[in-house]
Chains A and B, each alone.
Chain A
Amino acid sequence: MAVASISVSETPLVLYTLRRADDALILGHRLSEWCGHAPMLEEDMALANMGLDLLGQARELYSYAAKVEGKGNDEDKFAYLRDVRQYRNLLLLEQPNGDFARTMVRQFFYAAFADLYWRAMMRSSDTTLAAIAAKSEKEMAYHLRHSSEWIVRIGDGTEESHARAQTAIDDLWAYTGEMFAVDGSERALADVGIVVDPAGLRAAWLKTVTDVVREATLALPNSNWMQQGGRSGRHSEHLGHLLSELQSMQRTFPGATW
């Protein structure tokens, strides 16, 4: 009944593009899980909008990965027919939504990074990636604005909202280091100007995050121990559950359209 997973020729550029596509797809899917469940109608729309921004980024990146790979894969195959170990997204982004504070902290940590990252990637020597970066940067700038406003209000809100926001920060902090890590495959692309080394963005990210967290009367953990593994397919237990829902239709009825 279930259809087999595809195999992917992960050259450095294909791997790089899939990593970013997976980031966008998985976080976008997480946000879509709020649809119909958000605290208020207005926020329901906002979360769905942000999810659709990310889905749009994922589609462009998957399509480009398919073109670069040139093996007949396409955006749907990458999304629906890879197993959990073939996914390359950041661990941060697959973490469950939890309460609204946790979803906003996750969004805030990532958007503060992605806004900087895509802005820097607009200088990529790869014109397709530079164009995707230019579109994504504007979207992530808004995600950062939106999540920052909420972090301040949740943190500096009631005793309970403050506690929930602080717990989310403490729990998710260890997943933030992976955003700035590069392996040999990505280093090679950075050396020739196709991608930027995210390590150089960490100081600016930390300043943004620190400023907002301080205004929210919250605190960042002192721990510098960081969890890694998503970029090489070693995921938390949550991603498999997410994919089983995301992929159930295509795995059960291969090639189904409607």
Chain B
Amino acid sequence: MKSRFSIAVLSTSILALAAGAASAQDKTLVINSFGGAYEAAHKKCIIEPFEKATGAKVQIVTAYSSDAFAQLRAQKAAPQFDIINFSGGQEIVGASEGLLAPIDATKLKNAGDLYDFAKANLAKGEGPAYSIAAIGLVYNSDKAPKAPSSWKDLLDPAVGEHLVLTDISNGYGMLGFLMLNQVEGGNLDNIQPGLDAVGKLLAGGAIVVSKSPEIQQEFAQNDAWLAPYASDYAFTLRTAGLPAKFVQGAEGTPASYITTNLVANRPNQDLALQFIDTSISAEAQTCFAEALRYTPTNSKAKLAPEVAADVAYGEEGVKGLIRFDPAKIEANRAAWVEAWNKAIAK
């Protein structure tokens, strides 16, 4: 962990040197992305169009949110990122620690098109959400006797042993569990109702997996019908040839916001703002939704029907989005994971 971190710091500083050399032209931005398919879509939908439009260069450091945040904190005196992307709510802490710069919404021409929740705290330094992973019900449209519509359907005895739950060490698993907990009458100060419900589901034959590929395995080989999980994963399953569909639960849709943030005390802030503006544009978000089935936050994003069916789309779709307080989740994570492990142990 430590060595990976120092390698990351090292690579960032090398990049920063390169960035320093190029900054004579003031045309280079250093950002982080999340690797894999996400980074590929990031390049195609945002970075390449931005480079083409502005003539600037974007350098990508592959770092997940928590790693990127650790680097940002370590570099407080001399930050090396211009833009930093988070998926775990780190911007809330980052903004309160002064690591992120407030954003003047008038400087973003696409800001007006964003749904309100996506730009709520720009002035505080929390960057806009440019896409959202929506957690709902992923189900097998061939085998499930009826299409689920509510989180209560997880508790339907008919589903029983065809239900797949995800361990809460997984971020999406955590959000799905917190939603089940809320539906059962719990809240972030009391997860016992959720644990009790999980106990009942397991007694009914539900399976617990810890990584997303195992969900695919359960759907492909073990006759799974239903799993509370992210909208993009239903698409992944379908791409793999499985009859999977995504539906939002009637009680609400827990959401993981992917935000793009302006790092404080960096020279190229105007260029960085342009990059943020590109990220929140309708074109970029449409492209992201088509590539990965993330939910757009720009009300002008126009999705084809088959894409729209996989995400929380439009005014109606995003109305049900729920954001569980990321700071509170972080503070309780260790205790919750332990309680969860105890609850699911046979």
B and A form one assembly: no
Interface residue ranges, A against B (CB under 8 Å): none
Q: Give B residues with C-beta under 8 Å from A.
A: none
